[in-house]
Homo-oligomer: A and B are copies of this chain.
Amino acid sequence: MSTNNENSIETSQPNETTGKSDKHKTKMQKLKSVVDASIAAADKEQGIIILMTGNGKGKSSSGFGSAARALGHGHKVGVVQFLKGEFTTGEFLFFSQQPNCEYHAIGDGFTWNTQDRDSDIATAKKAYAQTEKFLQDESVDLVVLDEITYMFKYDYLPIEPFLTALRQRPKMQTVIITGRGAKPELKEIADTVSVIDDVKHAFRAGIKARPGVDW
């Protein structure tokens, strides 16, 4: 990757510049080998379905940490956030600015009014349409479906079409599903299931939720 050119800056300048250039070269070589290995490995593997559920803190943040990880490897990420809206969370403010990340937060559309259920079902269906789009898009490496579990738990969406879409998705695509109250079918279809137990929670100790920490 590097060439030994006698006129190059590495051989013609004294210590400090040489040291910095060598260090930078080494870093870039390392970066290249990581990316190459990433591409090579990816060709041999398959995407998985990860379910983050349970009552404890960490479900959504784990989905977003995984999104950051994927973006760091140059992957393309699609996010649909079912319960939260735009401009209300740090994750929206942060990820919606990232190249290679397409972010839809549709939570603002819900009324949660039992007398307005039709409107909420329509909102859920709109979000689901975007979900299916991602699940059919081979260019999307990672799909994060934050708090989609509630859509099935409260029967805003039927679960069978979703299971079918998951099964038929691009082979290399990974999907992360987060939220409490995951139906058994989701636990069944997932390759990895993490249940987060709420052993102790700051809220119960009287400490208020904080922006930047809790949303």
Contacts and interface: CB of A to CB of B under 8 A. Distances in A.
Interface of A: 27, 30-31, 34, 37-38, 41-42, 44-48, 50, 52, 54, 56-73, 75, 86-95, 141-142, 174, 187, 190-202, 205, 207-208, 210-213, 215
22 contacts: A37-B211, A38-B212, A41-B211, A45-B210, A48-B202, A48-B207, A56-B196, A57-B194, A61-B63, A61-B65, A61-B69, A64-B69, A67-B68, A68-B90, A68-B94, A70-B212, A73-B212, A193-B200, A193-B201, A194-B196, A194-B199, A195-B196
Contacts of A93: 31, 34, 72-73
A141 to B, nearest CB: 6
User: How many monomers of this protein are in the complex?
Assistant: 2
Contact of A65 (B64, B75, B198): B64
Contacts of A68: 64-65, 67-68, 90-91, 94-95
Contacts of A58: 52, 58-59, 62, 194, 196
A84 to B, nearest CB: 11
B210 A191 contact: no
